[in-house]
Each structure stands twice: as C-alpha cells, then as structure tokens.
A and B are shown apart, each in its own frame.
Chain A
Amino acid sequence: MALVTVDGLSFSYPAAPPALRDVSLALEPGEVVALLGPSGSGKTTLLRALAGLVPHFHGGRFAGQVVVAGLDTRRMRPAELAGTVATVFQDPEDQVVMTVVANEIAFGLENLGVEPRAIWPRVERALESLDALHLWGRKTVELSGGELQRVCLASALALEPRLLLLDEPTSQLDPEAATLFLTAVEQLGATVVLSEHRVARALELATRVLFVDGGRVLLDAPRAEAIEWLSAQRPLYTNPCVSETQAPSGAVVAALRGVAYAYRRAMPVLDRVDLELRRGEIVALAGPNGSGKTTLARIAAGLVEPQDGTVALLGRAGYLSQDPGRYLVKESALAEVALAVDGDEQRAGAALDRVGLGWAAGRHPRDLSSGERERLALASVAVAEPDLLVLDEPTRGLDPERKVALGDWLQEYAASGKAVLVATHDRDLPAHRRIGLCVSETQAFEERSVGV
C-alpha cells in the first residue's frame, strides 16, 4: 500500500499564479525519489504539500487531495503529521529554534513526546550518523552554514520519520559531508523525496525521478528510464559539460600575504595564508565546512581586515554573500540591481536579462523563489563590473541549466580582464585554479592548478 497518495493536486499561493497544476502520484514505502526541475518550478511547494504546510501554513487555493500514511493533510495540521513526516527546509539559518546543537535536535523529539530516556541517545545517534558528534555542545549561532545544515539534517534524522522531505539538503555541505548524509538517508529506510540541484548525487541515490516544470509533473519514472529522458530532454541535468578555457596570466588584482584570522582565541580559521588573484582568471576556493572559505573570501573582497598579514587590492571588489536574503533592500528587482549603478535602469535591466530575470524587473524581490533570489543577488553585485568579483556559494538554489549559464558567464567575465574568486563546494563550476583549505591544519594551504 502506498505511503503517500497525491490526487489531482493544484495549488496557488495568495494572489499568485498556480504553483502546482493537477499533480497526481503515489509513493511506496522505502522509495527514494529525486525531485528535479528548474528554479521556481514548484518543487518546494510540492514538498510543503506533502508535509501539510500547504495549505495550512501558507493559505492559498488548494484543490485535490494529499494523503500521508492514511492521514488527509487537509484535516491534519502539520504538527500532527510531524514524526510521520520530517522536513528539512532550504535555509538552515531559518529553522533553528534552540541555542545549543544537542537541544536543537532534541526539540523535535520532545515535541513528539518521545520517552525522555530515549531522547539523548537518539540525538547522539543522529549526530554520529553525520559525523557531527563534535558539534554536540556548540552554540548554533557560532556554526558555519554547512555545519548548521548538518544540524538541521540530524534533527530530521533523529525523528526517524516514515517520509523524509529534503529541500536542497546538501547545498552548503562539502562533498564528504554530503556523501555521509546521503548514506545516512539511505540507511534510514524511509520514503525520501529529495529536491536537489546537484543532480548526479540525487540520481545516484534515487530509485525514481520526478521532473517538475511550471507546476506540472513532466516525468515520473524509475531511475534508468529517467536518465534516458533527461539525456534527451534536459541534457545538462545528466551532463553538466563544463567548457574549457586557457589559464590566463593577467596583472595581479589582489594579493594576500600571510593572512591570519581567528573568531576565537587560539582557534585560527586562517593562519598565514597567501593568495594571489590575477585578471582573467577564475579561482575556486574549496574545503570542508568551517575551513574558512567565507572568511578568506570576505578578506579578499576587502570587507574584513585580517588580524595578521597584508591585503593589497588593486581595483574595485564586489562580494556576493552566501545569503541572498541580504540583497533585498529595494521594492523592485530592477531598483535592487540599479542600486549599485546609481539608479541606471538600462544597465540594471541588462544585468537582470543576463541572469534570466528580465521578466521579474517589476516584481518585489521578496516574491522571488530561493534560486531566483540567488540570481538577483548575483546581478546586484556584478552589475557594477568590479575588477575582482568574489562569490560565496553562488550555485546554491541554481538548477543545472542556470549553473552552466553561470559558469559560461563567469568565463566571459574573467575573459574581459576581471578576476573571479568563488568559494564553492560545487566542482561543476569552471575554474583555472582550485584551492583547498583544511580545517585541522590551518597552516597547510594546499594549492594545485587544474584544467577547467
């Protein structure tokens, strides 16, 4: 018997066009379903509907029926479905309730009325399964984005749900942590719906694939058949085809020498780091969560002074932070982008077109989906064409087609004589050099050149 049945589901948020149109499907126990589709296609809304958050929490027009483990989501509140269903949302920063990691994971278990003696062992098991036991007593505000995402995932795993809904769960995880998480998910034995833009990883785990576009399910097929369909219809989902470029040797635009930084005494995030960025090149910063990628990126952009060492910036720098919510200052997308070019709407419009958001020029930035906000933020920073463009996890929320477009655009940008520094876990982005930062050996700053 199916664990989930969705029958003729259509949904529109208040005063918005339909987000889901006539979706019908059934999920069997133990199935792992990869939910794919472009940004803004309705993936998140479908996950919300499966958790009962649509329509209870968001309001809007709901038609059809969703039944999870025999419970009709129209009649049961999401809190009553919790435990049977666990959801990990896109943005880990917005999900954390408690101040200490262990308490955060225990929070859901307490809500479900789990036997008190069983709570701490379950918290421990969940953290252990993600190799995150060291985070047990840490304060949640002190964690990096990736560490926080692991905590949110552990919170969901601890509930031992029958249906696990994951909305871009590995977007901020380093490859090792992502693999570990997906293994833990596999071992859980639950029905899993995984919305993920890192398609290769999702397809590796999935037994079945759903492809959503424009609120409709275009494909619902077993993995092998789905890969065939994707190869024919959406080739970039199965083959990101990163194009090649030649390593340039332009003038230096930023030089960091012996840079050191510590958030807490005796715990340096960066220790004597050297980095040189040249015009025409794309440099990717990689490394596990908490290894100091963001800190180094902010120092390179001139936003943070290093506690030791020097930074020579020979030109103007622009910085795109990990959180696209920080780029929502104005009342329309066009005004948002125009902010950096003294209100020049022509340049702003061109920048919006370049990221595929020309249609959203008059929309309020907060009405955009997470992937669209990411692109808006990129346009807002890049519109001024800084000599050094620093991007922190720019592929978060981007579908494979947008990601390839971003890669192509970065290469064009670099070829126009600018330098690009990208802090990313995503190896699909092109780079002339990839630099790895280590957590434990902060002095060991390994650098190697690789072909794109």
Chain B
Amino acid sequence: MSPAPAAALLAATGAAALLTERLWAVALLAGVLLGVCLQAPPGRRGVYLFGALTSGFGVLVLSPFLWSSPDGTILWEGATIPVLGPLDVTTTELSEAALNALRLTALGLAFAAYALLLDHDRLVAAAGVARRSALAVALATRLVPSLERDAAGLAESVRGRGIRLEGVRGYATLLSPLVAGSLERATNLAEAMEARGFGRPGFTRAPRPPWSVRDRLALALAALLVLVAALWL
C-alpha cells in the first residue's frame, strides 16, 4: 500500500478512537493498531510500544483520582486533599479512565505504526504544496530513533574511555550532551538543506508509482471509519 493512504487510514483509526464513546470499540481499534505495530522489526518497535502503553496506563491509574464524578458506585474513599478535593474511586470514574486510557494508547499506537512502518520519503513526496510541513514532520519523527542511536553512541564512547555508567544517575549525565548534540545535528542538517536548495520556489517531484485500487480502497475505508465512529459508535 502507498504510504499516503496508509497514513490516512492510521489517522482515521486514531480519530475514530477519539470520536467513539464505546469502550469495546476503542479497545478493538487499539488492538488492531497493536497488531499492526507488531509487524515492525522487534529491535525498533520497543521504545514506541513502551511509550504508547505506559502513557495509556498512566491515564488509567491517575485519572480516577484527578477527575471526580458523582455517578456510579463508590469503590474506594480516601482523604480530602486541598485543591484536588476528596479522593475516591467510583465505577463511572474507572470506566471513563479506561476509555481515555485506551484512546491515548490507540493514538500512541497509530503514531508508532506511522513512525515504524511508513515510507516517510514517499509521504513527503505525496504532500504536494505542504511539502515543507511534511518534511518537518518526517524529520521530527526520525528524532526518536536518532536520539536512541546517539544515546547508544554516547554511552559506548564513555565506556570506551573505561568509565562505567551505573544506574539512572549515571545515564542521566548523558542527557545534556545528548540534547546539545541533537541541536548541533539539527543546525548542521538545516545548513546542508539550505545549501541543497530547500525552500526555493518552483520545486518538482520525482515520478512515483500511481495509486493502486488497494490504495483508493484504503482511503475510502479511512473516511468510512471516521463516519461510523462519529455517527453510530
């Protein structure tokens, strides 16, 4: 499948997860997206899956305490905290927390699938007038794996000097050079892009294969998915 319809399908799945009010529907969408992400090479998908699943889990754990609903059965009652009010957990709050957690997980997984499985070069090429924005998004998407590589390289160079990195504190010392290195890389890349004519008016696009029937069907399915989620789910 061409990357543009695939991206539309992923975006539609994420949008459907936000639009629907039914827990089972969001769970189904998140499950499908998880299945899609698992098609990516094991070595690359770990950090994305971790991000998507932990953020969802965080919402599930925290939101019953931060959001209060008078409806439902009280399952647990705690102390009253200034600003936050009484701490309690009701069935309604739990159900809402699960819905929001699954929504966030589905969004994270949709992004993970986009980052891991799509050909970003072809997405940029397909972007037409929005080429600059598409390229900015593609470069930002590459930030995660590139930071991962830089961090591994920094850690290796420190070990290569005979220094042992131990615990969170040891690795935390690499955070500042990692950010500085990343900024320097971004500046160098911007310089190289400018020198190669990026931003000049009148750019063209190298010919790409035309969309297949499957691509058109994927686009139709994306539209249908959003419609169904908005009207019937």
When A111-B196, A328-B177 are in contact, do A339 and B184 touch as well, CB less than 8 Å?
no
Q: How many residues of B contact A (CB 8 A)?
A: 48
When A99-B142, A114-B204, A381-B160 are in contact, do A108 and B197 touch as well, CB less than 8 Å?
yes
Tell me how far the C-beta of A319 lies from the nearest C-beta in chain B, rounded to whole angstroms. Answer: 3
Of B122, B161, B191, the residue contacting A340 (CB under 8 A) is B161
Chain A contacts for B180, CB-based, 8 A = 328, 366
Tell me how far the C-beta of B109 lies from the nearest C-beta in chain A, rounded to whole angstroms. Answer: 21
State A141–B141 Cα separation when bound (angstroms): 14
Q: Are A303 and B156 within 8 A (Cβ)?
A: yes
Q: Can you show 27 pairs from A to B with CB atoms below 8 A apart? A: A53-B194, A57-B190, A79-B199, A94-B185, A95-B188, A95-B189, A97-B139, A97-B196, A98-B120, A98-B121, A99-B121, A100-B119, A111-B197, A116-B207, A119-B204, A119-B206, A141-B149, A298-B156, A301-B160, A319-B157, A319-B161, A321-B156, A325-B184, A328-B181, A340-B161, A340-B163, A390-B160
Judged by a CB distance under 8 angstroms, whether B162 is at the interface is yes
Tell me how far the C-beta of A139 lies from the nearest C-beta in chain B, rounded to whole angstroms. Answer: 10
Chain A contacts for B159, CB-based, 8 A = 303, 319
Q: Who on chain B is nearest to A298 by CB? A: B156
Judged by a CB distance under 8 angstroms, whether B223 is at the interface is no
Judged by a CB distance under 8 angstroms, whether B203 is at the interface is yes
Q: Are B196 and A384 within 8 A (Cβ)?
A: no
Interface residues of chain A, those whose CB is within 8 Å of chain B, are 51, 53, 56-57, 77-80, 82-83, 85-87, 89, 91, 93-100, 103, 106-117, 119-120, 123, 141, 155, 159, 298, 301, 303, 316-321, 323, 325-329, 339-340, 366, 377, 380-381, 384, 386, 390
Q: Who on chain B is nearest to A382 by CB? A: B161
When A89-B191, A318-B161 are in contact, do A366 and B207 touch as well, CB less than 8 Å?
no
Q: Are B189 and A94 within 8 A (Cβ)?
A: yes
Of A53, A93, A103, A321, the residue contacting B195 (CB under 8 A) is A53
Q: Are A329 and B197 within 8 A (Cβ)?
A: no
Judged by a CB distance under 8 angstroms, whether B171 is at the interface is no
When A79-B198, A87-B195 are in contact, do A120 and B156 touch as well, CB less than 8 Å?
no
Tell me how far the C-beta of B215 lies from the nearest C-beta in chain A, rounded to whole angstroms. Answer: 19
Chain A contacts for B193, CB-based, 8 A = 97
User: Binary interface profile of B, 130-162, with partner A (CB < 8 Å = 1, else 0)?
Assistant: 000001001100100100010001101111111
Chain A contacts for B190, CB-based, 8 A = 57
Tell me how far the C-beta of B3 lies from the nearest C-beta in chain A, rounded to whole angstroms. Answer: 11
User: Binary interface profile of B, 189-231, with partner A (CB < 8 Å = 1, else 0)?
Assistant: 1111111111110111111000000000000000000000000
Judged by a CB distance under 8 angstroms, whether B73 is at the interface is no
State A120–B208 Cα separation when bound (angstroms): 10
State A356–B132 Cα separation when bound (angstroms): 44
Q: Are B205 and A116 within 8 A (Cβ)?
A: yes
When A97-B135, A320-B160, A321-B156 are in contact, do A82 and B200 touch as well, CB less than 8 Å?
yes
Chain B contacts for A117, CB-based, 8 A = 207
Judged by a CB distance under 8 angstroms, whether B173 is at the interface is yes
Q: Are A107 and B196 within 8 A (Cβ)?
A: yes
Q: Are A326 and B200 within 8 A (Cβ)?
A: no
State A241–B216 Cα separation when bound (angstroms): 67
Tell me how far the C-beta of B196 lies from the nearest C-beta in chain A, rounded to whole angstroms. Answer: 4
Interface residues of chain B, those whose CB is within 8 Å of chain A, are 119-122, 124-125, 135, 138-139, 142, 145, 149, 153-154, 156-163, 173-174, 177, 180-181, 184-185, 188-200, 202-207
Q: Are B189 and A106 within 8 A (Cβ)?
A: no
Chain B contacts for A111, CB-based, 8 A = 196-200, 203
Of B153, B185, B205, the residue contacting A321 (CB under 8 A) is B153
Chain A contacts for B149, CB-based, 8 A = 141
Of A80, A103, A380, the residue contacting B121 (CB under 8 A) is A103
Known: A103-B125, A107-B196, A327-B157. 19 other contacts (CB 8 A): A53-B194, A78-B194, A95-B189, A99-B121, A99-B138, A103-B122, A109-B206, A111-B197, A112-B197, A113-B203, A117-B207, A119-B204, A119-B206, A303-B159, A323-B153, A329-B154, A339-B161, A340-B162, A386-B162
Chain B contacts for A320, CB-based, 8 A = 160
When A100-B119, A110-B205, A120-B206 are in contact, do A80 and B185 touch as well, CB less than 8 Å?
no
State A257–B152 Cα separation when bound (angstroms): 26
State A57–B161 Cα separation when bound (angstroms): 35
Tell me how far the C-beta of A78 lies from the nearest C-beta in chain B, rounded to whole angstroms. Answer: 5
Q: Are B204 and A329 within 8 A (Cβ)?
A: no
Tell me how far the C-beta of B89 lies from the nearest C-beta in chain A, rounded to whole angstroms. Answer: 46
Chain B contacts for A141, CB-based, 8 A = 145, 149
State A26–B186 Cα separation when bound (angstroms): 33
Chain A contacts for B135, CB-based, 8 A = 97
Q: Are A57 and B196 within 8 A (Cβ)?
A: no
State A301–B121 Cα separation when bound (angstroms): 37
State A377–B160 Cα separation when bound (angstroms): 11
Q: Are A326 and B163 within 8 A (Cβ)?
A: no
